[in-house]
Amino acid sequence: MGFARTCSVALVGVEGVVVEVQADLEPGVAAFTLVGLPDKSLTESRDRVRAAVVNSGAEWPQKKLTVGLSPASVPKSGSGFDLAVAASVLGAAERIDPRVLADIVMIGELGLDGRVRPVRGILPAVLAAAEAGYEQVVVPECAAAEASLVPGVSVIGVRSLRQLIAVLADEPVPEEERDHDLRGRPDPLLAGLRMPGTGAATGMHSMGAAQHDHGHDLADVVGQESARTAVEVAAAGRHHLFLEGPPGAGKTMLAERLPAILPRLCRTESLEVTAVHSVAGLLPPGKPLIDVAPYCAPHHSATMQALVGGGPGIARPGAVSLAHRGVLFLDETPEFSSHALDALRQPLEAGHVVIARSAGVVRFPARFLMVLAANPCPCGRFSQADEVCECPPSAIRRYQARLSGPLLDRVDLRVEVDRVTRGQLAGDGPRGDATATVADRVRAARDRASTRLTGTPWRSNGEVPGRELRSRWRPAPGAMDEAERSLERGVLTARGLDRVLRVAWTVADLVGHDRPDARDVALALQLRTGVPRGVPMALGALT
């Protein structure tokens, strides 16, 4: 009787569970049994592993073979267990020393010819292995850079099962021939890193590269001083933003340029974002670590599952998770399903999404900066002085009512985007600051907030609870009088008052004040309610 064991990782959302893969050989009729709650793709590994072992020059044991995945109560899915199953079988057959396998975690899919293909979720799987105390992992060669992002773990990248056998048996490692006739085409082994149907055309991709795209500069936006100020405040404090205005006024342009003024992600944030995109199969080719804010802009026909995550079988991250630590832009927001929009309430408050299924509960991170854009009415010309709106009042009311009050109450900034005039397009007026200039101011404001919040679990003003702002970081005496009167008149809710105070702190950080004064709060109220408060919208006028 032969027995061997090694380890792999089962992913539940972006969290991993280390699974022990055990192989047992007994005398009897040759058979291969796989137990331990595998799904269909994992059950098919029996045929893939057998063919890969034979085509790699090893002998397949002609005995009764049982492979168990423990703990058996955890659902296992995907083809990432192939490498561990093959290694445990070869260990039970004494082709590899079983003692060498016991403390190694293996992740990878096997082709019938023995080549090792990458799978989605390498980074969160290696993170789970490191947290469980494992120090050595084996992954596909093309995913070794992603696995190496985890500190304290020795990564072995292999291109084929033959190379893995040689490494573990302490034999000369054979050189695998690469395909020389690709003629510039992508390596077919990289197909496992991307999910079909996800890419730039869908809006569900990492658009952090916008920071390096000189075609997206904030100086290109003509006019819109109020909206530009709101975008800068939103970036500095991570506040949600609602832009309302006629078609063609520049709402989408402002949203697309918002990621470029956000600070680069720190190491912890980069690993969080990369883990989500790795599970979703959206890591950019040749860039294993995402260190800039992602940008996600789903179409208004997106379902609730596409927005918050879910779907049939194993739950997948949705747009709110793909925009984690970045920007979620919902253009034509009233055209989205009301159920999908209302499902955003939990992630807006909690910073994560919890999806309950019969197979278990999945938790995805979802701390994003939301930007909503909408027309004032179905035709888009309502409230324009020199144009006639063709929509009846009932249609306007129905259109605007699609955005529920509880959802809008969670939005810190609401700005009306005006129609661009002919003179502004001709360049007669002053131009706004470029992206680099605004990004420097945002970075300085974030640094002030980070210094103030040292020793707390929060990093930006948009995350600080209202009770902490009222007790630990008080504004100047009398600064909140006007906001408190708005609360008494019913203009603001209690949540709205807290959000005004958050925005006031961000304004103070941008203009260099030690704490918010009455003018900072007035500007925050103006950005919150859209009602003029007698203060200029330009931040420079408050210094």
What pLDDT tens digit does each residue of the chain (543 aa) get? 589 999 999 998 888 999 999 999 999 899 999 999 898 888 999 999 999 999 999 999 999 999 999 998 888 888 999 999 999 999 999 999 999 999 999 999 999 999 999 999 999 999 999 999 999 999 999 899 999 999 999 999 999 999 999 999 999 988 876 654 455 555 666 655 555 444 443 454 444 444 445 567 888 888 788 899 999 999 999 999 999 988 888 899 999 999 999 999 999 999 999 999 999 888 876 788 999 999 999 999 999 999 999 877 778 899 999 999 999 999 999 999 989 999 999 899 889 999 887 767 889 999 999 999 999 888 887 765 656 788 888 888 888 888 888 888 889 999 988 887 776 777 666 677 889 999 999 999 999 999 999 989 888 999 898 888 888 888 989 889 888 888 888 888 888 889 999 999 999 999 999 999 999 999 999 998 877 777 777 676 565
pLDDT at 542: 64
Quick one: tokens of 221? 């936006």
CB 526 within 8 A of CB 535: yes
- Cα(216)–Cα(259) distance, integer angstroms: 10
Give the pairing of strands 327-330 and 295-296: parallel
**Beta strands per DSSP E along 344-451:** 352-357, 360-365, 369-374, 413-416
pLDDT at 40: 85
- Cα(153)–Cα(39) distance, integer angstroms: 29
- Cα(294)–Cα(309) distance, integer angstroms: 17
Vertex 408: Cα angle to 402 and 411 (nearest 5):
145
Q: Phi then psi for 14, rounded to 5 degrees?
A: -105, 15
Q: How far is CA 319 from CA 58, 127, 299, 457, in A?
A: 45, 23, 10, 25
Q: How far is CA 208 from CA 193, 205, 264, in A?
A: 19, 9, 9
Tell me which residue has tokens 């420079």. 540
**Burial label, 161 (beta-carbon count in 10 A; 0-12, 13-18, 19+):** buried
pLDDT at 356: 82
Tell me which residue has tokens 């600064």. 479
pLDDT at 387: 65
pLDDT at 440: 94
- Cα(377)–Cα(380) distance, integer angstroms: 5
Which amino acid is located at 459 in the chain? Answer: R
CB 235 within 8 A of CB 227: no
- Cα(266)–Cα(457) distance, integer angstroms: 15
Residue 285 makes CB contacts below 8 A (sequence gap 6+) with 186, 190, 193
Tell me which residue has tokens 């950080």. 509
- Cα(142)–Cα(140) distance, integer angstroms: 6
DSSP classification of residue 310:
B
Task: Please tell me whether residue 422 adopts helix, strand or coil conformation.
Answer: helix
- Cα(245)–Cα(93) distance, integer angstroms: 70
3-state helix, strand, coil split of the chain in percent (to 5) is 40, 15, 45
CB 525 within 8 A of CB 500: yes
pLDDT at 185: 59
Task: Please tell me whether residue 400 adopts helix, strand or coil conformation.
Answer: helix
pLDDT at 530: 78
Tell me which residue has tokens 């992954």. 139
Query: pTM for the full model?
Result: 0.88
CB 146 within 8 A of CB 194: no
Residue 362 makes CB contacts below 8 A (sequence gap 6+) with 12, 13, 309, 314, 315, 354, 355
pLDDT at 194: 56
Quick one: tokens of 57? 């020059």
* Number of residues that make up the chain: 543
- Cα(294)–Cα(200) distance, integer angstroms: 12
Distance of CA 89 to the CA centre of its chain: 37
Containing 271, the helix (H) or strand (E) segment is: helix 267-280
Residue 29 makes CB contacts below 8 A (sequence gap 6+) with 64
pLDDT at 145: 92
Quick one: tokens of 11? 């992913």
pLDDT at 288: 86
- Cα(224)–Cα(230) distance, integer angstroms: 10
